[in-house]
Structure 1
Amino acid sequence: MTTTAPDTEAGRVAALLRAFLAGQDATGTVDAVRRAGSGRSRDNWLFDLVDDGAREPLILRTDPDGGLIDTDRSVEFAVLKGLEGSGLPTPVARWLDADGSELGRPSLIMRRLGGVCDYRVLRDDNRPLGERIGLARTFCELLAGVHAVDRRAGALDATLTDPGPEAARAELDRWAGILRADQLEPWPELEYAAVVLGERAPRSTGTVLVHADFKPGNILLDGDRVTALLDWELAHLGDPLEDLGWVTQPLRAGEHTIPGAWEAADLVAHYEHTTGSTVDRAALAWWVAFSSFKTAVMQVSGLRAFLEGRADEPYRPTRRVLAEVLDAVLEDS
Structure 2
Amino acid sequence: MESRLLRVLDQFLPGARLIRSWPLRGGISAQMTAFEVERAGKVERFVARLPGEWSWKENANPTQSEFRLLTELRSMGIVCPEPVFQETEGHRPMYILKYIEGAVEVQPKDRGSFLRQYATALARLHQTDVSSPQLQILPRLLPAASLDNRPLNDKLREPEIRAILDSCPIPRTNGPVLCHGDLWPGNLLWRGGELVAIIDWEEALIEEPLWDLSICRLDLHWLFGSQEAEEFTNLYQSLTNVDLSHLPYWDLRASLRPMANIAGWAAGYPGIGRSDITVDHMEYQHGLFVARALRELNA
Amino acid at match of 1:290: R
CA distance in 1, matches of 2:198, 2:233: 20
Which position in structure 2 is the counterpart of 1:286? Answer: 249
Please tell me whether residue 195 in structure 1 is matched to residue 163 in structure 2.
yes
CA distance in 1, matches of 2:48, 2:111: 31
The 5-angstrom pairing of residues 207-218 of structure 1 reads 207-218=176-187
Paired residues, what number? 279
CA distance in 1, matches of 2:107, 2:264: 27
Deviation readout 1:245-292 (Å, 9 max, x if unpaired): 11123x64133x467xx53332222112222x1432x31111111111
Which position in structure 2 is the counterpart of 1:156? Answer: 134
Among 28, 35, 42, the alignment partner of 2:16 is 28
Unaligned runs of 5+ in 1: 1-12, 164-169, 304-314
CA distance in 2, matches of 1:266, 1:37: 29
Which position in structure 1 is the counterpart of 2:47? Answer: 59
Among 100, 123, 133, the alignment partner of 1:113 is 100
Note if contact 2:174-2:209 (Cα within 8 Å) is conserved in structure 1: no
CA distance in 2, matches of 1:267, 1:297: 27
Which position in structure 1 is the counterpart of 2:199? Answer: 230
| TM-score normalized with structure 2 length | 0.78
Which position in structure 1 is the counterpart of 2:230? Answer: 265
Note if contact 2:174-2:243 (Cα within 8 Å) is conserved in structure 1: no
Moved more, 37-46 or 293-302: 293-302
Note if contact 1:96-1:108 (Cα within 8 Å) is conserved in structure 2: yes
CA distance in 2, matches of 1:112, 1:146: 22
Residues 76/198 of structure 1: CA separation in 2 closer, same or farther (3 Å cut): farther
Please tell me whether residue 86 in structure 1 is matched to residue 50 in structure 2.
no
Deviation readout 1:126-145 (Å, 9 max, x if unpaired): x2xxx221121111101111
| TM-score normalized with structure 1 length | 0.71
SS in 1 for 2:102: coil
SS in 2 for 1:205: coil
Moved more, 203-212 or 33-42: 33-42
CA distance in 1, matches of 2:48, 2:188: 18
Displacement after TM superposition at 1:161 (Å): 3.6
SS in 2 for 1:39: coil
Which position in structure 2 is the counterpart of 1:133? Answer: 112
RMSD between aligned alpha carbons? 3.4
CA distance in 1, matches of 2:104, 2:286: 28
CA distance in 2, matches of 1:226, 1:96: 26
Give the fraction of aligned pairs with identical amino acids, expressed as a percent: 21
SS in 1 for 2:36: strand
CA distance in 2, matches of 1:328, 1:73: 39
CA distance in 1, matches of 2:158, 2:84: 40
Displacement after TM superposition at 1:51 (Å): 2.1
Amino acid at match of 1:196: I
